[in-house]
Homo-oligomer: A and B are copies of this chain.
């Protein structure tokens, strides 16, 4: 019996697709399409037992398996490989339990983020991760990529929001570790191996998520500053005043701000011309007192010379307008910029100097090139888009940027992951010793190398 027949016997013929029956949407993540070959088949299992059975077949036959969530990734992690199976968990969707006492939610891996957020809210609780792709991205993919988003400074990344996991290993073994305990030191913390492993070490089928109290107040301000020293001073000031309620501290450098608020873009909350702009948000639990506390924080900051100008949102609509500027990165395409964006991390203290150095080096190499810097500065996460004169090979720009990132002890990926897109550059900010540990872990958990081969690490047959 062939592999496809064996899998049909497990999941039913209606859950297996081949050839032209595989819709195009399954052949790409958000940015990296499959360019060579075809998948052997697309499988849509309905249960963990089915996932395990499919993996036993694939493992026996040594067939590559690429698992997909909502395919909103930006690194090629979910893009199929030639001759491999694609496993979509879209049928494994649903909230199984919300436990108010433990403040947890147990969900199937194919559940969309927005469903999680709404189920938490229905129970008077809150899921602390949010991002633009909330309607499409799925819990399993968010675990596999250790997703970040806009409120990491307050609630952490996905790693900080996962208490338990159910995972299917390459050989079909099911690891059931649906822990609801905050503290569990009974041996190695097995869930950590799979979070952020981009589908290369195991297939997440269920997760226990950590919930937070639902915020009762939102305070939002938009500020301008003349120097990066002010940015750092303001960050420390806001942390000290707001501590556990500071939920966003977002930087927009002047080049980004000017571009995004130009004709046809977002409305400008403040005049252009400043060195940098900041969006500050606090989520509190005391609607009576929080807005005043937030205003006092801003006044004190102004008194210390940490802010040049500021606007406070007096309605949800005004707050949304502030966020519109920060969330305008889709504009780059409309403005004719190439898809040359970076998701780097730089130690917070040095981001201002890094920006200056990066601009200078790009100008020296390609006079007339443009940049736009923005990011989750409170998480040391900087996004950078570059527009160079035509015909500059992207690879050269990338090598310049990542070379500088390495000099500044940063990372080539803060939140988007490695996939295939950043794999050639992993060595810029990871040492050979670190890569060797990663390879040892890969070999230990997936000795045949069938799970998402060629993602993060080398080693796919096509290499």
Contacts and interface: CB of A to CB of B under 8 A. Distances in A.
B180 A416 contact: no
Given A174-B433, A232-B101, A431-B176, A186 B411 contact: yes
A138 interface: no
B146 A185 contact: yes
Contact of A187 (B175, B236, B426): B426
Contacts of A346: 181
Of the candidates A101, A201, A349, A436, the one having the most CB atoms from chain B within 10 angstroms of its own CB is: A101
Interface stretch (A36-44, A189-197, A354-362): A189-197
Copies in the complex: 2
A284 interface: yes
A262 interface: no
Given A188-B197, A193-B441, A433 B245 contact: no
A239 interface: yes
A256 to B, nearest CB: 19
A280 to B, nearest CB: 15
Contacts of A183: 148, 152, 157, 345, 376, 379-381, 411, 414-415
Interface string A229-260: 00010011001111111000000000000000
A196 B186 CA distance: 9
A182 B293 CA distance: 26
B181 A380 contact: yes
A304 interface: no
Contacts of A441: 188, 193, 441, 444
A154 B212 CA distance: 12
Contacts of A69: none
B236 A189 contact: no
Nearest to A435: B187
A245 B282 CA distance: 14
B345 A181 contact: yes
A291 interface: no
